[in-house]
Amino acid sequence: MTDVKPPQGRGAVSTSGSAAGRDQPPRTRTRHTTDTKLPVAASQDVRQAMIRLLRADAKAFTATLTLNALAAAAGLAGPYLVGRIVDDVRAGKGVSAVDHLALAILLCSLAQLLLARWARYTGHRFGERTLARVREQFVDRTLALPAAAVERAGTGDLTARGTADVALVGTTLRDVGPDLLVNGVQALFLLGAVFALNPLLGACGLLGLAGIWCALRWYLARARAGYLAEGAATSDVAEILAATASGARTVEALRLEKRRVSASRDALETSRRTRLHTLFLRTVFFPSVEICYLVPVAAVLLVGGLLHDRGTLSLGAVVTAALYLQRLSGPLDEILMRVEQLQNSGASFARVEGLARAPRTETSDTAAPAGDRIDVRGVRYAYDRGGEVLRGVDLTVRPGERLAVVGPSGAGKTTLSRLLAGVDAPTEGTVTVGGVPVVELGPEQLRRQVVLVTQEHHVFLGTVRDNLRIAEPAASDEELWAALTAVGADEWVRELPDGLDTRLGDGGRRTDGSQAQQLALARVVLADPHTLILDEATALLDPTTARHTERALAAVLEGRTVIAIAHRLHTAHDADRVAVMEDGLLTELGTHEELVTADGAYAALWRTWHG
Question: Which residues lie near ligand ADP (CB under 6 A)?
Answer: 383, 385-386, 389, 407, 409-415
For ligand ADP, the closer CB: 4 or 419: 419
Tell me if 36 sits within 8 A of 30, measured CB to CB: no
Report, in Å, the least distance between residue 381 CB and ligand ADP.
9
Provide the H-helix boundaries in 487-591. 490-495, 513-527, 536-539, 543-557, 569-574
> Is residue 3 helix, strand or coil?
strand
Cα atoms in the 13 Å half-sphere on the side-chain side of 147: 18
For ligand ADP, the closer CB: 345 or 571: 571
For ligand ADP, the closer CB: 530 or 567: 567
For ligand ADP, the closer CB: 567 or 592: 567
Report, in Å, the least distance between residue 330 CB and ligand ADP.
56
**DSSP class of 423:** S
Report, in Å, the least distance between residue 366 CB and ligand ADP.
32
For ligand ADP, the closer CB: 60 or 585: 585
Report, in Å, the least distance between residue 416 CB and ligand ADP.
7
Report, in Å, the least distance between residue 537 CB and ligand ADP.
7
Residue (of 446, 452, 478, 455) closest to 465 by Cα position: 478
Distance (Å, whole) CA 110 – CA 523: 62
For ligand ADP, the closer CB: 134 or 540: 540
Residue 61: what residue type? Answer: F
Report, in Å, the least distance between residue 587 CB and ligand ADP.
13
Report, in Å, the least distance between residue 120 CB and ligand ADP.
51
Give the total residue count for the chain.
611
Q: Which residues face 462 on adjacent strands?
A: 504
Tell me if 395 sits within 8 A of 589, measured CB to CB: yes
For ligand ADP, the closer CB: 289 or 395: 395
The DSSP secondary structure of 192-242, one letter per residue, reads: HHHHHH-HHHHHHHHHHHHHHHHHHHHHHHHHHHHHHHHHHHHHHHHHHHH
Distance (Å, whole) CA 115 – CA 272: 43
Report, in Å, the least distance between residue 583 CB and ligand ADP.
9
Residue (of 433, 415, 450) closest to 376 by Cα position: 433
For ligand ADP, the closer CB: 318 or 389: 389
